[in-house]
Structure 1
């Protein structure tokens, strides 16, 4: 693995993720105070519909990066153009479908969801702008493949940062000059989608000038190949949406708009972590694909192991900090809400991440080896089991709102500890304990981080009475946990290489 390129991509994408998380962090308290948690809850719900739509587009788009990257590796530029243009014009056709279904949903929204009468029109306008942004994103999604194929995720990160700044500026201007409305968030999302399309188009022309936009390169054979390979990714996307994106709808239908608003406030931390994963996990795929394309399985497994360790630091270190200091975070962030309820709901939601995060890139194995069928069937089974469990708990248990994350926790842990590690090992022709050993090491390291974090909290060296105290305390703790993680996870050779590269970079 090219450590220099990896860390450039990692740092730039972390900055990109931080701008997105920061936007949510600073705006949410104001929006809840200004609009009310009932109205605010419809914004994260509206963004969930983008995930629902992604089920359809995944079949065509998910494998385009794989086939284009491999074609580039083989210097087959003709095939690169065929795949690129086939996906581009195929996405235009899919966008027409979303225009129709989005319009129907907006018109009948009050019959589908529990929406308070006083904000029905505002919610409909919100959904309309979100769907328009979705159409733009779907139509232009192929423009992101150039950065992926050439391993230039830092360029995508810069685009994401500018997009988040544009979204923030539009929201601030609209809320400052006009009476606050929930659909202002939809307008901001639509405008940022327009910028994202334009910026990615320019990036494609700059990074891959050999790409020629031509309807003549559209190929139904290429579409068939991509959809045939990607249909199982769509099934996996369906299972992921059912597992993670239906909770607000279920809360809305069983407990009403108010409790849906409460649950939406707990989505901030899990969504921030998902955002980090969505940006960082793909960083490893180009190297893994190249190793697989060259039939170098040893290098592929080495890169896979490195990815587990890197993602552990990115994902599980923040979770350890949150588990120990989460209640204090909610007390400061949303002082007028029930911090204990928000903290407990968040912790239950995050527990499956502990197992999931130790081997997150394991799902790349199914994509790289193109063995998605069985994994997809399992994903559908688990998602149906999860929704069924959640609904039964909502209907017959006394857990109330806690039933939703509890049901997801039970089925998520079951899946992460049974099928996923066993089948991934089989795809790599490894012993079935291959990934279990890595999970065990990850869990042991996570428990060590929890222990260190609790010890730091017990010492109470810094009072946590305000944001300054919390930020200072967590900053020192993060450095401590980062140091512990580095020495526990990485061997001396990797640490020495990293130190030498940093030494040369900064002329130490």
Structure 2
């Protein structure tokens, strides 16, 4: 592992921890201040706005790839055309989509189960959420700089600043004014502007050779991005259908109160997905660079290691979440939410299995293969809607039906399709990636079993006890990693570095 990789991983983990702390503290604060129905509508409106990514993904999902490949090949003029064309296209498209959000906001309360007293606030929140989405769309181009330079910790700094600003603004608005739903997206917009300032500063610093000029704005470059991105748009549609349809279906099939309960439950699974996504993207620049250098064997070896280490990072928090779901729900949101611990366990269980394969999602784009993943994802997304409806309405499983449907579909996509398709396009054996999942899965079972054994003999009733169990579990997991996760050579190198650090410290004293 080189220094840049360690910086990227460390920054992403620190950002995740901050995000988790913010969520743990803000979620009960918002739920108890605004009410469970209002909390559900906050996340539901943002999820609905995210459906617009089906349109924007045709540009934002591929610009980083095309820019990086061109720049790594030394085609700087072409790289500048891709990025300049993206900025102009994204700004014009953002304005158009924001106007669409304003128009749709007037129909929103007629489509959803929205209490009358929350109708106006929900409309305002939807428009502010649209503005937030458009800001993030434009900022995707700014993210090309840290991706190309393989300095993703820069993006993590921006995310951390955005989270702090958002939290401070929420607390400020709730304190000095009457709390309202639209305060949440407004705080996110303010935080996004702060992150944009940081992003622009580092954008200029990391790629000083880029300068926006109108002569670089090219219709042909935009069309190239759109032609490759149209398949990603279809894939994004499928992703939305099995990752961000839950709250909408809950609202339509069950009601507003259940939407709020499920939105609260989803906070931790969303954090796990965020952790896995931020870890996976750390491997993406190297995967793209190896492909650009036509080092396919190096790419395969690197992708296999990425699965192993991504799985090991995610296995511990996922297993801890599932193993301590009961006391966590009781202490976090109160007795009214304790029975929903089984929902949290369902999410934790399938995320342990599926999230480790996320680094492979960056291999098909590197090979410019978008069509098959898009079609398969779209089919699976549609299947999720049908499964959720059937399990919820026909079998009367309620929220457990929606959670189970998502688990089935994600298992099919990440465990069956993704490794097999990646092996096919790289001309490897179909089972090449599975052997790297054994150690992470055994680690997850070990930690989950440890938590279950503790609760079998001891009643966890305080945050302090919960943290102590988590701390002991972490120590045990580190021992597991040392003994089983690393090779003998890696353990020897680790001990040598520890001894060298200790010796250097003794000399400095």
Q: TM-score when scaled to structure 1?
A: 0.94
Q: Which residue of 2 aligns with 1:71?
A: 70
Work out whether 1:466 is the aligned partner of 2:465: no
1:305-341 CA-to-partner distances (Å, cap 9, x unmatched) read 2211221122121111122111111111011423122
Q: Which residue of 2 aligns with 1:490?
A: 486
CA contact (8 A) 2:323 2:452 kept: yes
Deviation at 1:47, TM superposition (A): 2.5
Q: Which residue of 2 aligns with 1:424?
A: 422
CA contact (8 A) 1:133 1:194 kept: no
Q: Which residue of 2 aligns with 1:479?
A: 475
| Cα distance change of structure 1 residues 322 and 43 upon mapping to structure 2, 3 Å threshold | same
The separation in 2 between residues aligned to 1:502 and 1:367, in whole angstroms, is 39
CA contact (8 A) 2:326 2:338 kept: yes
CA contact (8 A) 1:359 1:438 kept: no
CA contact (8 A) 1:63 1:230 kept: yes
Match of 2:409 among 405, 408, 411: 411
Taking only aligned residues, the RMSD between alpha carbons, in angstroms, comes to 1.9
| Cα distance change of structure 1 residues 361 and 64 upon mapping to structure 2, 3 Å threshold | same
| Cα distance change of structure 1 residues 5 and 260 upon mapping to structure 2, 3 Å threshold | same
1:433-479 CA-to-partner distances (Å, cap 9, x unmatched) read 2133334554344334433444455565xx73211111122112112
Deviation at 1:46, TM superposition (A): 2.5
Q: Secondary structure at the match of 1:432?
A: coil
Q: Which moved more, 1:346-355 or 1:363-372?
A: 346-355
Deviation at 1:150, TM superposition (A): 0.3
- 1:313-332 mapped onto 2 (5 Å cutoff): 313-332=312-331
Q: Which residue of 1 aligns with 2:284?
A: 285
CA contact (8 A) 2:358 2:414 kept: no
Q: Which moved more, 1:212-221 or 1:491-500?
A: 491-500
The separation in 2 between residues aligned to 1:496 and 1:59, in whole angstroms, is 47
Deviation at 1:498, TM superposition (A): 4.5
The separation in 1 between residues aligned to 2:499 and 2:80, in whole angstroms, is 42
Structure 1 regions of 5+ residues with no counterpart? none
Q: Which residue of 1 aligns with 2:434?
A: 436
The separation in 2 between residues aligned to 1:499 and 1:54, in whole angstroms, is 47
Q: Which residue of 2 aligns with 1:184?
A: 183
CA contact (8 A) 2:315 2:443 kept: no
Q: Which moved more, 1:379-388 or 1:46-55?
A: 46-55
Q: Which residue of 1 aligns with 2:128?
A: 129
The separation in 2 between residues aligned to 1:48 and 1:503, in whole angstroms, is 50
Q: Secondary structure at the match of 2:336?
A: coil
The separation in 2 between residues aligned to 1:219 and 1:486, in whole angstroms, is 52
The separation in 1 between residues aligned to 2:420 and 2:154, in whole angstroms, is 36
Q: Secondary structure at the match of 1:431?
A: coil
CA contact (8 A) 1:113 1:253 kept: yes
CA contact (8 A) 2:82 2:221 kept: yes
The separation in 1 between residues aligned to 2:243 and 2:403, in whole angstroms, is 9
The separation in 2 between residues aligned to 1:339 and 1:92, in whole angstroms, is 45
The separation in 1 between residues aligned to 2:368 and 2:233, in whole angstroms, is 13
The separation in 2 between residues aligned to 1:81 and 1:143, in whole angstroms, is 12
Deviation at 1:268, TM superposition (A): 1.0
- 1:109-258 mapped onto 2 (5 Å cutoff): 109-258=108-257
The separation in 2 between residues aligned to 1:254 and 1:157, in whole angstroms, is 37
Instruction: Count residues with an aligned counterpart.
Output: 504
Deviation at 1:500, TM superposition (A): 4.5
The separation in 1 between residues aligned to 2:138 and 2:416, in whole angstroms, is 38
CA contact (8 A) 2:122 2:182 kept: yes
Q: Secondary structure at the match of 1:289?
A: helix
Deviation at 1:411, TM superposition (A): 2.6
Q: Which residue of 2 aligns with 1:45?
A: 44
The separation in 2 between residues aligned to 1:200 and 1:503, in whole angstroms, is 39
Q: Secondary structure at the match of 2:334?
A: coil
CA contact (8 A) 1:317 1:449 kept: yes
CA contact (8 A) 2:146 2:203 kept: yes
The separation in 2 between residues aligned to 1:482 and 1:233, in whole angstroms, is 38
CA contact (8 A) 1:115 1:257 kept: yes
Work out whether 1:356 is the aligned partner of 2:365: no
CA contact (8 A) 2:380 2:413 kept: yes
Match of 1:369 among 367, 370, 378: 367
1:258-282 CA-to-partner distances (Å, cap 9, x unmatched) read 1111111111111101111222211
Q: Which residue of 2 aligns with 1:295?
A: 294
Structure 2 regions of 5+ residues with no counterpart? none
The separation in 2 between residues aligned to 1:477 and 1:279, in whole angstroms, is 23
Q: Which residue of 1 aligns with 2:12?
A: 13
